[in-house]
Each structure stands twice: as structure tokens, then as C-alpha cells.
């Protein structure tokens, strides 16, 4: 039997970060992983999908932008899908190997196996070499989530795939139906379209990314998808499918009428659910809510005081960076530091083309929270020199502020490098910054980052590089005579 101060179960972006910080703080720490270090994110999620998106965008630019810039090629650019998979895997392996080195460098013991609670203070870890018992003073559960299946579409990762199967394709299908127009479906469907697949997206709602991103932002991506040949079907419910030789015939209800799609593959991306039905969590008395998330307080402590839960299994938003934040926080709580989960905003990024990124609230959310008097401004990438030079001019930066105080409440970006630009907005919102703080901060030229400064100026009513009707409050006011 092995004993530790801290035992982390799961080595995803929440778990491995928690283990590293615990090791740095001097705790005797172990991390248990049943698959690969780095979890879903590094191996079958965030990292491989971004590698594939990067490759697809590279190919797309060669085929569509290179000639405009003056480059020409003899013959078509061909794709070796197996070699692409090999490169993608090398990216994942490099990241996973880096995690292994970081854990080792911080004296964290890695235990390979599938963990189950025997009681609230003991784990049974089953591995290929046998079973061992592990005890700890404190446990951090970071076992994440998995894709949701829908009736009639059981995953076999060949015909009907989850995101895991789609990211492992060694040949690009001629056609694919993507069930679910959320961020995972649009990311994977988008890059497969660029790699040559005919893509049909079936979304049950009347709009893509409904409730996930600012509606104005989504419109830009929807138009781009249409322009690039992605077939989006709204108010579409997938009902069943049958195999017809080498193809699949999918039956769906689209706006109330039955419609059939003949495709080579089906990808189901309707969301993810927490892995709280594993490890005997209920049996040891852990409280789990009706959605399957482990109940925690503001320090991510469960109803059993020595057990914490972080990441996807601890509730929304189910994002890697939120899990990492919680991992550091819990380790520091265990060290006696006064930490609670008090982030004002958790940024969200969707790696569509163009990218979407947001921090803070939408206009609708601002009004729901009592901010009825708002300043809202936008600055388009088409007016930014760097974006023009990149031939990436779709989209804009949108800022929302309280009209009474000019305090920034939300930033929504759709355009090139939105994923990188949003960090400035996160810092501004966390600091309680006003529009003037961004507008009066000198931004380097020529950069995409200038759009943040210009959007702040536009929201104040005096943008330089777009023509806008001046706001009354933006005009200098005459001084009263003595």
C-alpha cells in the first residue's frame, strides 16, 4: 500500500496542474492516470484538434490565397492523410511527454491504472500488472468528461464517431454528417471541409452556437461556413441511420420534414457529460447534482472535506483553462492559502474560421443583471492594416460597457487570432478597467492588437480608423465662464 499527502485522480489539464503545484508546495503527491498523461485535452481533444485546424487552414491558404499573393504551383497540392495523422500524433506525444517531465521534475509519482474508491480514504488501482491500494490525506478528483451518445447513434468510431474517432481519421471521408452545431462540431466539421470533405451540419436549434456566443459574432462564422461550402441545416433532428454498402443513409427531421443524407461518416457532437458515474463516488457518500456534476464549494471542496473536485466533473464551464485554474487553487488551499474560486470571467474560444473569443457578458446577459444603460461599440478587422496584410478581414471586436461608469462588462471577438486577443480583455475585466484604460494604452502598430484599442475608442464614440457618428458624450463640452 502506498500513502501520500495528496493523490490526484486524472492527469488532464486540471489534474496534472494540481499535482505539479502540490509537489511545488512540498506535498508527497501522486497522480493516477488510466490512459495517457495529459488526459483528453492533450491527447484526443484540444491539442490534436488545433493541430488539425492549423494544417487545414494552411492547405486552404495555399489553395485560395497563395495565387492572389503571387505564388503559383504546378499541379494540385496533395494531402497524405496518414502523414498528417502522424504529424498530429507527434504534437500530442510531445505535449504528453512534457507533462511527464514536469511531474517528474516536481517529485510527483505517476501511477498508471484505473482507480476506484474502496472507501473515502482508500483507492484500488487496477493496472495491467495487477492491483494496488493507495491511501492519501487528501484526494483531488479530476477525471473529466466524455462525449454524449444519442439514441440510434452508438459510437463505434468507424461509421459513427465521437470527436475522438474523428481526430484519428487516417483518410479524409468524401462526405460526413455532423450532428450538433456546437463548438466541437463546427471546429471538426470546418477543418474536414477544408481538407476536402462534403460536410453537413445538423443543428437542432434555430441558430448555430445559440446561447454559446454573441449572436452578431456567430453570424460572421455562419456566413463564412456557407461561403466555404459547409451545408448547415437548422431545426434538424437526426433520427436514425442505415448502412447502404459503403455509405450511410441518415434520416433526419429538418424544419418538420423528413430528409435523408447519404454520407460516408457520421460525427456526433451534442455535448459531453461528467464521468461521475465511475469510481464508486456515490457509494462513498459524495454528493452529485442532477446533471452529474460533483457538488463543491467555492474552494472546490466536496461534502467530504478531504476530497476535492476540479475541471469538467465539478461543473460548467467545461474548459481546460478553468480546470487548470482550479487545480492550482486547490493545491494552494491545501497549503493553507486563502484562496477561493472568484474569477470574474472565464474566457471562451471557438476555433472556427474565423475564430470566436469572448470574455465577460453579452448584451442580453448585461441587461439580465441590471445593466440596462450600455455603451456598445465595434471595430472591424477590415480597417486594421495587419488583418488586411494577412488577408483575414472578416469579423470585428465588440465591446460592451456600463454607460454610467464606462467599466468594461464584455468583449466579443470574431476574426483572426481572436484566441490570443481575448487575454487583454480578461485582464481588463478582472481589474475592473474602464474603456479609457484600453483606449489610452498605446498599442503597437501594425498589429491585430490595435483592434482592442480602436474598439474601446469606438465604444466611447471617437474611433479614428472608422467613420462613426459622434456620440454627444464624446464631444468636448464648453467650459462655463467665470
Active-site amino acid positions: 445
3-state secondary structure of 330: helix
C-beta separation of 137 from 7 below 8 A:
no
| String of DSSP letters for 188-256 | HHHHHHHTT-EEEEEESSSSTTTTTS-HHHHHHHHHHHHHTT-EEEESEEEEEEEEETTEEEEEEEETT
Cell numbers that stand for 212 in this block: 454559446
Q: In whole angstroms, what is the distance from residue 96 CA to residue 446 CA?
A: 36
Q: b/e per residue, 282-319, with b = 16+ CB within 10 A?
A: eebebebeeeebbebeebbbbeeeebbbbbbbbbeebb
Q: In whole angstroms, what is the distance from residue 459 CA to residue 360 CA?
A: 16
- β-bridge mates for residue 358, sequence order: 348, 412
3-state secondary structure of 375: strand
3-state secondary structure of 119: strand
CA dist list (Å): 60 to 57, 166, 390:
5, 19, 14
Amino acid at each position: 500500500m502506498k500513502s501520500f499527502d495528496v493523490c490526484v485522480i486524472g492527469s488532464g489539464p486540471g489534474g496534472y496542474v494540481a499535482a505539479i503545484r502540490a509537489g511545488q508546495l512540498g506535498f508527497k503527491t501522486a497522480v493516477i492516470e488510466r490512459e495517457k498523461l495529459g488526459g483528453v485535452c492533450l491527447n484526443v481533444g484540444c491539442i490534436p484538434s488545433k493541430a488539425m485546424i492549423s494544417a487545414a487552414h494552411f492547405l486552404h491558404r495555399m489553395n485560395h490565397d497563395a495565387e492572389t499573393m503571387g505564388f503559383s504551383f504546378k499541379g494540385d497540392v496533395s494531402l497524405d492523410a496518414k502523414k498528417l495523422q502522424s504529424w498530429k500524433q507527434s504534437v500530442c506525444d510531445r505535449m504528453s511527454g512534457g507533462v511527464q517531465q514536469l511531474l517528474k521534475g516536481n517529485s510527483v509519482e505517476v501511477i498508471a491504472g484505473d482507480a476506484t474508491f474502496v472507501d473515502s480514504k482508500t483507492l484500488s488501482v487496477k493496472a495491467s500488472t495487477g492491483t494496488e491500494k493507495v491511501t492519501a490525506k487528501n484526494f483531488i478528483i479530476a477525471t473529466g468528461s466524455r462525449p454524449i451518445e444519442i439514441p440510434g447513434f452508438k459510437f463505434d468510431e468507424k461509421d459513427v464517431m465521437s470527436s475522438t474517432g474523428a481526430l484519428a481519421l487516417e483518410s479524409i471521408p468524401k462526405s460526413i454528417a455532423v450532428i450538433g452545431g456546437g463548438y466541437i462540431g463546427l471546429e471538426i466539421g470546418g477543418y474536414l471541409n477544408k481538407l476536402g470533405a462534403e460536410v453537413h451540419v445538423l443543428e437542432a436549434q434555430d441558430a448555430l452556437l445559440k446561447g454559446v456566443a454573441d449572436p452578431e459574432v456567430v453570424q460572421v462564422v455562419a456566413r463564412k461556413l456557407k461561403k466555404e461550402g459547409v451545408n448547415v441545416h437548422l431545426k434538424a433532428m437526426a433520427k436514425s441511420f442505415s448502412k447502404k454498402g459503403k455509405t450511410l443513409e441518415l434520416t433526419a427531421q429538418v424544419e418538420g420534414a423528413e430528409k435523408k443524407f447519404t454520407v460516408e461518416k457520421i460525427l456526433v457532437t451534442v455535448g459531453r457529460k461528467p464521468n461521475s458515474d465511475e469510481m464508486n463516488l456515490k457509494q462513498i457518500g459524495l454528493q452529485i447534482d442532477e446533471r452529474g456534476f460533483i457538488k463543491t464549494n467555492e474552494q472546490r471542496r466536496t461534502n467530504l472535506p478531504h476530497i476535492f473536485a476540479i475541471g469538467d466533473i465539478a461543473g460548467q464551464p467545461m474548459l481546460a483553462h478553468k480546470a487548470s485554474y482550479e487545480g492550482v487553487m486547490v493545491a494552494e488551499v491545501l497549503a493553507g492559502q486563502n484562496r477561493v474560486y472568484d474569477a470574474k470571467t472565464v474566457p471562451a474560444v471557438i476555433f472556427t474560421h474565423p475564430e470566436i473569443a469572448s470574455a465577460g457578458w453579452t448584451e442580453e446577459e448585461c441587461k439580465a443583471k441590471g445593466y440596462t444603460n450600455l455603451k456598445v461599440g465595434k471595430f472591424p478587422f477590415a480597417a486594421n492594416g495587419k488583418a488586411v496584410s494577412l488577408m483575414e478581414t472578416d469579423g470585428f471586436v465588440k465591446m460592451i460597457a456600463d454607460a454610467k461608469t464606462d467599466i468594461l462588462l464584455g468583449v466579443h471577438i470574431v476574426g483572426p487570432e481572436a484566441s490570443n486577443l481575448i487575454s487583454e480583455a480578461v485582464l481588463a475585466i478582472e481589474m475592473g478597467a474602464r474603456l479609457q484604460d484600453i483606449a489610452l494604452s498605446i498599442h503597437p502598430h501594425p498589429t491585430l492588437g490595435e483592434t482592442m484599442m480602436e474598439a474601446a475608442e469606438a465604444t466611447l464614440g471617437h474611433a479614428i480608423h472608422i467613420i462613426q457618428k459622434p456620440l454627444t458624450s464624446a464631444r468636448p463640452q464648453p467650459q462655463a465662464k467665470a
